[in-house]
Amino acid sequence: MQHTGRQPDSASRRTVQIPPAASTVTGDHKEQLRFTVTMGFGLANSEWLLRRRIERAKESLLWGHKLSEVALACGFADESHLNRMFRRLVGSTPGKWRTGKGLAPH
């Protein structure tokens, strides 16, 4: 891959942000809270967040929402981003997963 000299876009540098209120509620420093989440779930914060987004997407799909609406509502850039991440974690596309649950695709 050839280096173009361009900086990566902001989406590729995005990290999980812990709201200041969360550390205030728990009494922990922000970094300690991240460590606690990582140790408690056995996942990096970004992986935990991705799994939560996929679970939320599954719930929305079961309610019959359109894939494009589900993608945006769950924090994905677009439908293809949802498809890639869903396939990575679940093993099938959202449409195939929904059809396997006996629901009509949208």
As a whole number of Å, the CA-based R_g of the chain is 17
pLDDT of residue 44: 77
Question: What parts of the chain have a pLDDT lower than 70?
Answer: 1-30, 33-35, 37-41, 104-106
Please report the pLDDT score of residue 20 as a whole number: 57
Cα distance between residue 106 and residue 91, in whole Å: 19
Residue 58's pLDDT is what?
A: 96
Could you identify the residue written with the tokens 């449409």? 95
Architecture, CATH, for domain 44-100: Orthogonal Bundle (1.10)
**C-beta neighbour count of 42 within 10 angstroms:** 8
> For the whole prediction, is pTM greater than 0.85?
no
pLDDT of 88 reads: 96
Domain locations along the chain = 44-100
